[in-house]
Structure 1
């Protein structure tokens, strides 16, 4: 399905992408901790809401 060259390119691209994201986030880490403090609560609420929708779907299906 994929050639060896395509797999090699994908692996190198992935490694370079992860390194670039790490350095880009590293520069803004202090700013993000100050500005986006408490944003994990919103993420948890969103995931709970999605889980609730799945539960409602399963309960009403039976």
Structure 2
């Protein structure tokens, strides 16, 4: 599973450009994980829904 995570990060983020500083890279990685990877990617355990979609469909109004 972790290999899939790092593979996705490599293809979708790290291979696309160079960053001027380590801090800039750290900020970009944090943003990618927290803004896209964790909340938006689809999970097989959630019926191929993203966590956001799953919560919207399974949280009482």
TM-score category by the smaller chain?
0.3 to 0.5
Decide which structure has the larger Cα Rg and report it: 1
Normalized against structure 1, the TM-score is what?
Answer: 0.40
Normalized against structure 2, the TM-score is what?
Answer: 0.40
Q: Which has the higher helix share?
A: 1
Pick 1 or 2: higher relative contact order, CA cutoff 8 A, min separation 6: 2
